[in-house]
Chain A
Amino acid sequence: MAQRTVIPFGPQHPVLPEPIQLKLTLKDEIVEEALPHIGYVHRGVEKAAERMDYTQNVFLVERICGICSFIHALCYCQGLERLMGLEVPRRAAYLRVIWSELHRLQSHHLWLGLYADAFGFESLFMEFWRSREMLMDIFEKTAGSRVIISACCIGGVRRDISDQHLQETLETLKMLEAAFDKSSEVMLNDYTVKKRTVGKGILPADKAILLGAAGPVLRASGVEQDARQTGFAAYDELRVEPVVETAGDCYARAKVRIRECRQSLDLVRRAIAGLPDTDIAVRPKGRPNGRTISRVEQPRGELLYFLAANGTQKLDRLRVRTPTFANVAPLVHMLPGCEVADVPVIVLSIDPCISCTER
């Protein structure tokens, strides 16, 4: 009779930059059950947002997650703009797309690197992170900061990107693409990498829908859904086709993200080419009142904010639903039946962002 063992995976683990704990029940080498324990990075942002001024909240929500900070701010500002009846100038909408897509690129590069590290391919990790530094340089140049760029504000964006910087961005992207071609080639075609990823952690389409998966995890299972199709910011003019794969395994999830990187590169270029010449922000007038829902697409999936305002400076309620939270249930479904050695790869394949999840 094989013995059952319970192994804690996390909260402090070399492949996880963030603390989450999975209690794995093993029978020999095979995982029978996985139980997530969370709460290590819970801060209480939603409550804090009720105590702060609604304009101050932009800086607070940006710090829900440092990897996709701009998109958090965008989602929040978009909701408030709807409540206050503000029309964002077109140039601001395009700039928002540019920064969002750069954040997506940055986040996917980060993930591809960490993922390579999870199956022990350290030089590939270094390759992706070296290219990622080019994107960080773009942020520093255009917004003044590397990680939390604080470029979004209620009514538009805080700063413009000059023509010279747009030109330099395009040139950097060219270099980035060349590097990306090389390293993504390894990720997709290397024999050893494929051995570690193909057929691991399969999530069928019906299960993905049932368990409420989001973003690349959902699209890798063959479901065509992307919040950018709703046409927020300037996505109504810069149409986006969702990237879909059908296999639903770790390999497909990596492939979706790699193809999304190409899509983002294309989107940034299209947005720069079509950048209209208008103001970059309108002044907010009055106070927000009423309730609304705001949806955007984060690198990890759909992000949803619910805002309830009451006509004063403070919000009644801010509710955040993040994509990783949606992807934890599919993860718990994927793990049983896999080998212990595959656990890091499968956990990373959903691109967990715990600080989003717990806020």
Chain B
Amino acid sequence: MGLIDIARSKSPWILHFDAGACNGCDIELLACLTPVYDVERFGIINIGNPKHADVLLVTGTVNKRSARVLRNLYDQMPEPKAVVAIGACALSGGVFHQCYNILGGVDSVLPVDVYVPGCAPKPEAIIEGVVMALGKMQEREHARKRGAA
């Protein structure tokens, strides 16, 4: 494992995008950053710039307008990257699955690595989701390196 890999697994930076959530998931995600849950002790930092981020956290259903922004953010993130879908809405559309403006869950636009169910999921569940995403990211990176070697 190279130096960059170690740094990434010890301090993943996250980017949050609300693609059409009711806010419930967003505030639970923000709560993860605050003293009671404090993900910064794992080195996780919430960052506004997609070019610095390793993990993209998406809350809410994807609608016709936010799909473009979501795609755009994802494309700007450097490899390796992981996507975590948070909440029933991001999984499948949740209560809104029948609404006319909804495309569906996040996986209708992006490849999703980890699904965190719940409406809204508790902060503990969200943290676990991020940690799982890191594992997956590492695995993929190793596979890629083996393939290249």
Q: Which residues of chain A have a CB within 8 Å of any CB of chain B?
A: 11-14, 17-19, 39-45, 47-48, 51, 59-60, 63-67, 69, 110, 113, 125-126, 129-130, 132-133, 136, 146-148, 353, 355
* Contact flags B96-116 to A (C-beta < 8 A → 1, else 0): 101111100000000000000
Set A11, A14, A48, A147: member contacting B27, Cβ < 8 A: A147
9 A-B pairs with C-beta separation under 8 A: A12-B48, A13-B48, A19-B18, A41-B63, A42-B20, A43-B101, A136-B31, A355-B18, A355-B22
Whether B61 and A66, one on each chain, are in contact in the complex, defined by CB atoms closer than 8 angstroms, is no
* Contact flags B39-51 to A (C-beta < 8 A → 1, else 0): 0000000011010
Give the bracket for the number of chain B residues in contact with chain A. Answer: 35 or more
Set A17, A39, A69, A353: member contacting B30, Cβ < 8 A: A17
**Closest approach, in angstroms, between the C-beta of A115 and any C-beta of chain B?**
13
A67-B31 Cα distance, complex, nearest whole Å? 13
Contacts of B50 in A (CB 8 A): 12
* Contact flags B114-134 to A (C-beta < 8 A → 1, else 0): 000001101000000000000
Whether A146 and B69, one on each chain, are in contact in the complex, defined by CB atoms closer than 8 angstroms, is no
Indicate if B66 sits at the interface (CB-CB under 8 A): yes
Indicate if B26 sits at the interface (CB-CB under 8 A): yes
Contacts of A48 in B (CB 8 A): 96, 98-100
Whether B23 and A17, one on each chain, are in contact in the complex, defined by CB atoms closer than 8 angstroms, is yes
Whether A19 and B34, one on each chain, are in contact in the complex, defined by CB atoms closer than 8 angstroms, is no
**Closest approach, in angstroms, between the C-beta of A31 and any C-beta of chain B?**
20
**Closest approach, in angstroms, between the C-beta of B77 and any C-beta of chain A?**
12
Contacts of A132 in B (CB 8 A): 31, 34
Indicate if B21 sits at the interface (CB-CB under 8 A): yes
Whether B66 and A59, one on each chain, are in contact in the complex, defined by CB atoms closer than 8 angstroms, is no
**Closest approach, in angstroms, between the C-beta of B89 and any C-beta of chain A?**
8
Known: A13-B48, A129-B34, A355-B20. 10 other contacts (CB 8 A): A11-B69, A12-B69, A17-B30, A18-B18, A41-B21, A42-B20, A146-B120, A148-B22, A355-B21, A355-B22
Contacts of B22 in A (CB 8 A): 63-66, 69, 148, 355
Whether B31 and A133, one on each chain, are in contact in the complex, defined by CB atoms closer than 8 angstroms, is yes
